[in-house]
Amino acid sequence: MPAVVRGGRSHTIRVRAKVITDGGFVAPDARARAGRPRLQHLAVDATMGQGCCVGSAADPDVVTIGETMAMVVPSEGQPIRSAALFEVHAGGAESNVACHLARLGVRSAWVSALGTDALGDRVLTAIASRGVDVQWVRRDDRAPTGVYFKDPGDGVSYYRRGSAASLLCPDDLARVPLGTARVVHLSGITPALSDDCAALVAAVIDRVAPSATALSFDVNFRPGLWPATTAGPVLRALANRADIVFVGLDEAAALWGSQSAADVRAALPGPRYVVVKDGDVGATEFGPAGRVFVPAIPTDVVEAVGAGDAFAAGYLAAMLRTAALDDDLAAVRGSDPTQAGADAVQLAVERLQAGHVSAGLVLRSISDLDVPEPVNASDLDVPTPVNASELDVPTPVTHPTSTAPDLRSDS
């Protein structure tokens, strides 16, 4: 069992959690049954994660799309105002997800644009060195690579206006294998960068819609890019067209006035899976198992920025590993709702646990990607589901199936 050492004290991380569920198996919604056959080919093959490099012959299992910048961070985890030594890393929500997925053995690719400057060279090399396919990254001599500064304990400062990635447009998708990937992952940062980037996001969703590819969307609201009054309706519309959505409860409160995980689900009836993260409290999944909550892992936090990306990667990697099992169980247990419900809850627990473990590693590091050795799987205690009625959990909300709104209709 590894321990985190800070200030001469040793802090052991151990996963012990109760799982709160709303009881009973909830069948996939009518949209998932009657619509396009998403989430049916998510299981990865035995070679995933091997040979993920520039020009890799194998199509990626996960394609992520979005801006990555050069990230400047104090070497010793000190505040910028007092730090003497700094390091330069690559940092961006979508490439972070791709890198963590590659670390977890998932064949991943990142699509973006970088300047033809030295920082762009450095970012591209850094992402590729982590096993991510970067062959669809365009180099643009019209604009620079963006830069941001991570100030441990005090957030980040961005210098990205007019960056090469802000010039991304639908034409950049021409050769990207969106329809053959198992998952395409986007975030709410990209549509805020420029009108062309918003058009690119719309084009991705339109291309993925008729395919069997699952669309993953992390809301990732950035108030510095656009106000909640503008972002709220756009991000809600985008999220409702996705299959898998990640959102922080604090984000949902700012964007849609949501005060609870159930409120978030009510605002997002379209996705088959909605994952609501509540910081050091835990995370809730709304999906085939109904509502499942797994508490966060107690962790000594060095820097929180980037942990959400790691959570998404851990969750998606677990989903990819268990998707075939999920389908098999649904077929085998179809006549036994009780067993089907238990199986669905266990899979949800594993997905949320994987997200927490992955996020916990980033929380212990000044880097978004250079993480400590993970906790051994044998040290993880798989939680025992507890019925909501035994824990005074509010009655779950029933969410009727509805047609997801048009991408820009309520913006």
CATH of the domain at 159: 3.40.1190.20
Q: Up-side HSE of residue 407: CA atoms within 13 Å toward CB?
A: 13
Residue range 325-353: mean pLDDT, rounded: 70
pLDDT band at 322 (very low <50, low <70, confident <90, very high): confident
Mean pLDDT calculated for residue range 233-260:
97
Number of H helices, E strands in the chain: 9, 17
CA distance 348 to 59: 27
Residue with tokens 């447009």, as numbered in its chain: 169
Residue 339 — pLDDT band, cuts 50, 70, 90?
Answer: low
Task: Please determine, for residue 10, whether its predicted confidence score (pLDDT) is greater than 70.
Answer: no
Domain of 174 in residue numbering reads as 11-390
**Residue 21 in domain:** yes
Within a domain: 1: no
Give the model confidence (pLDDT) of 46-58 as tens digits. Answer: 333 333 344 345 7
pLDDT of residue 366: 53
Active site residue 309: yes
Residues of the chain above pLDDT 90, percent: 55
Confidence band (pLDDT; 50, 70, 90) for 411? very low
Cβ(215)–Cβ(241) below 8 Å: yes
Residues 6+ apart with CB under 8 A from 97: 62, 64, 108, 185, 218, 309, 312, 313, 316
Does residue 201 register a pLDDT over 90? yes
pLDDT of residue 392: 34
pLDDT of residue 181 exceeding 50: yes
Residues 68, 92: contact at Cβ < 8 Å?
A: yes
pLDDT of residue 1: 30
User: Which range has the worst mean pLDDT, 80-84, 101-105, 151-155, 216-220?
Assistant: 151-155
Q: Is the pLDDT of residue 360 over 60?
A: yes
Residue-level pLDDT at 344: 84
Rounded CA-CA distance 210/240 in Å is: 16
301 has a pLDDT exceeding 70: no
> Does the residue 411 lie in any domain?
no
Q: In what order do the strands lie in the sheet with 108-115?
A: 137-140, 108-115, 62-65, 183-187, 214-218, 244-248, 273-278, 282-287, 290-295, 19-21, 385-387
Q: Is residue 371 part of a domain?
A: yes
Alpha-carbon Rg of the chain, whole angstroms?
A: 20
Sequence letter at residue 251 = E
3 lies in a domain?
Answer: no
Identify the band that residue 363 occupies on the pLDDT scale cut at 50, 70 and 90.
low
Q: Is residue 409 in a domain? A: no
Q: What is the pLDDT of residue 150?
A: 85
Say if 408 falls within a structural domain.
no
**Residues 29, 133, 309, 326: which is the catalytic one?**
309
Handedness of CA 106, 330, 271, 263 (dihedral sign): negative
Mean pLDDT for the chain overall = 77
pTM exceeding the 0.85 threshold for the entire prediction: no
Task: Name the residue among 269, 275, 285 with its Cα closest to residue 247.
Answer: 275
Task: Write the pLDDT tens digit of every residue in 227-242.
Answer: 999 999 999 999 999 9
Tell me what percent of the residues of the chain surpass a pLDDT of 70: 68
pLDDT bin (cut points 50, 70, 90) of residue 136 is very high
Residue 221 included in any domain? yes
If you average pLDDT over residues 121-140, what whole number do you get? 96
The predicted structure's pLDDT at residue 61: 95
How wide is the angle at C-alpha 252 spanned by C-alphas 246 and 255, nearest 5°?
125
Q: Which of 366, 364, 301 is nearest to 88 (CA)?
A: 366
What mean pLDDT is predicted for residues 261-287? 95
Between residues 249 and 321, which one has the greater pLDDT?
249
Instruction: Report the number of distinct structural domains present in the chain.
Output: 1
